[in-house]
């Protein structure tokens, strides 16, 4: 049975790219008999996640041998978990469905390339206290939980998230906050995990309040995929609580235009109406968004949701992710086909998070052809050469 999103897309023909520009509802799909009051309850969504091979085989009869084998081994690395509302976006007829690729395990996850590691960004080496990463001079990463609403198969923190690998992460908020209090150079705190918006309103309110009370902490950020995986969680009550902690910024994570449903847009509009600046971080993934037209539709839809495309990440060198990684050359070509062909607000910064904790390195297509004291030779977005005086 198709979800309403898939049906709307397929009705366009030609791959349904015109339909991707529209906002469609994920609907209840496979859960059509579930009452609306349950479907719209984020706790019901979490309780009824797809977490086993038996559930997958029942809901997705087209499961491939690679997916079946990957799911049998998934809980040794990163747990399987998909919310019903996100599962309904999967096209059951397409093995390379961009939603399917992101959340259904494959046997390729068990293959580790020589250059891959379980901690590709070197977070452990920059963790002065458990659950806190201090890699940049004026900001810290504050890990609050190891749980997510759904689990991305390319997760950079798969060693920690879901506890499938036995990492046994238990954040100590008092110790983490004490470190921040003792380091006046820290002006920016990013809450991540796992997903911070899985905390209760009360617990998140208390945590933000403690951080906001530290004089040198100027602003707070939350990294979350909840508006995409679990838009029901973005309640008026949550937004009312968050607006008390300004300046507060939220970075969401969306990779493909199909993820930006009517429900996701409503959730994002609620956050924006609460005065929270929203940015998006995408990961460049093979057979998901490594296509200039798909990326252009995606970033334009993000702007319609009042979200600024912020970062496009080269997929980190996390163990078992080679089948999802595309080339840097491809990423640069996609960026080149965005710049000048859509509004500048829609063009993200393409970055590599350097292995070992080297930090984010921005990548841009080569626009400077030659630079001398007398003349600078440039190439514009059309490929035309432009000359300006070197000292201008």
Tell me which of 49, 101, 106, 135 is the catalytic residue. 135
102 CB contacts (<8 Å, ≥6 apart)? Answer: 152, 153, 154, 255, 256, 285, 288
Q: Is residue 315 annotated as part of the catalytic site, yes or no?
A: no
Q: Is residue 147 annotated as part of the catalytic site, yes or no?
A: no
Task: Give tens-digit pLDDT for 55-69.
Answer: 999 999 999 999 999
Q: According to the model, what pLDDT value does residue 18 have?
A: 67
Q: Is residue 152 annotated as part of the catalytic site, yes or no?
A: yes
CB atoms within 10 A of CB 352: 18
**Domains, the chain, ordered by start:** 4-106 (no CATH), 124-363 (3.20.20.70)
State the chain's mean pLDDT as an integer.
Answer: 93
364 CB contacts (<8 Å, ≥6 apart)? Answer: 332, 335, 350
Q: Is residue 28 annotated as part of the catalytic site, yes or no?
A: no
* Residue 371 pLDDT > 90: no
Q: Is residue 188 annotated as part of the catalytic site, yes or no?
A: no
Tell me which of 121, 152, 305, 315 is the catalytic residue. 152
Tell me which of 17, 40, 68, 136 is the catalytic residue. 136
Q: Is residue 360 annotated as part of the catalytic site, yes or no?
A: yes
Task: Give tens-digit pLDDT for 269-299.
Answer: 999 999 999 999 999 999 999 999 999 999 9
Instruction: Find out whether 205 and 248 touch, Cβ atoms under 8 Å.
Output: no
How far apart are the C-alpha atoms of 213 and 203, rounded to whole Å? 16
How far apart are the C-alpha atoms of 131 and 144, rounded to whole Å? 7
Q: Is residue 136 annotated as part of the catalytic site, yes or no?
A: yes
Task: Give tens-digit pLDDT for 292-346.
Answer: 999 999 999 999 999 999 999 999 999 999 999 999 999 999 999 999 999 999 9
Tell me which of 157, 233, 270, 336 is the catalytic residue. 157
Q: Is residue 195 annotated as part of the catalytic site, yes or no?
A: no
276 CB contacts (<8 Å, ≥6 apart)? Answer: 239, 242, 243, 246, 248, 249, 250
Tell me which of 101, 316, 325, 350 is the catalytic residue. 316
Assign 3-class secondary structure to 308-319.
EEEEEEECCCEC
Tell me which of 155, 239, 305, 315 is the catalytic residue. 155
């Amino acid at each position: 049975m198709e979800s309403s999103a898939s049906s709307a897309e397929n009705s366009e023909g030609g791959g349904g790219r015109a339909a991707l520009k529209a906002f469609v509802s994920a609907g209840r799909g496979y859960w059509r008999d579930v009452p609306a009051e349950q479907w719209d309850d984020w706790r019901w969504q979490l309780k009824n996640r797809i977490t086993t091979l038996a559930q997958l085989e029942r809901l997705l009869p087209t499961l491939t041998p690679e997916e079946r084998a990957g799911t049998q081994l998934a809980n040794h690395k990163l747990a399987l978990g998909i919310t019903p509302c996100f599962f309904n976006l999967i096209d059951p007829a397409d093995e390379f469905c961009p939603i399917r690729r992101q959340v259904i395990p494959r046997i390729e996850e068990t293959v580790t390339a020589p250059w891959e590691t379980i901690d590709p960004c070197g977070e452990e080496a920059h963790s002065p206290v458990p659950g806190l990463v201090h890699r940049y001079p004026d900001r810290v990463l504050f890990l609050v939980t190891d749980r997510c609403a759904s689990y991305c198969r390319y997760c950079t923190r798969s060693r920690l998230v879901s506890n499938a690998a036995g990492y046994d992460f238990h954040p100590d908020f008092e110790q983490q906050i004490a470190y921040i209090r003792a380091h006046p150079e820290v002006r920016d705190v990013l809450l991540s995990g796992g997903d911070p918006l899985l905390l209760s309103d009360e617990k998140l309110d208390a945590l933000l309040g403690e951080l906001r009370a530290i004089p040198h902490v100027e602003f707070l950020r939350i990294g979350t995929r909840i508006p995409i995986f679990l838009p029901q969680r973005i309640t008026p009550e949550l937004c009312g609580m968050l607006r008390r902690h300004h300046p507060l910024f939220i970075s969401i994570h969306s990779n493909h235009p199909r993820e930006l449903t009517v429900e996701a847009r409503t959730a994002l509009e609620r956050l924006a109406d609460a005065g929270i600046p929203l940015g998006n971080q995408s990961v460049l993934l093979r057979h998901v968004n490594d296509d200039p037209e798909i990326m252009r539709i995606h970033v334009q839809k993000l702007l319609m949701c009042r979200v600024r495309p912020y970062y496009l990440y080269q997929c980190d060198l996390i163990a078992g992710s080679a089948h999802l990684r595309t080339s840097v050359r491809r990423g640069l070509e996609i960026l080149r086909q965005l710049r000048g062909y859509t509004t500048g607000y829609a063009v993200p910064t393409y970055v590599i998070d350097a292995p070992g904790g080297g930090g984010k390195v921005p990548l841009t297509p080569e626009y400077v052809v030659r630079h001398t004291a007398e003349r600078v030779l440039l190439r514009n977005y059309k490929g035309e050469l432009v000359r300006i005086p070197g000292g201008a």
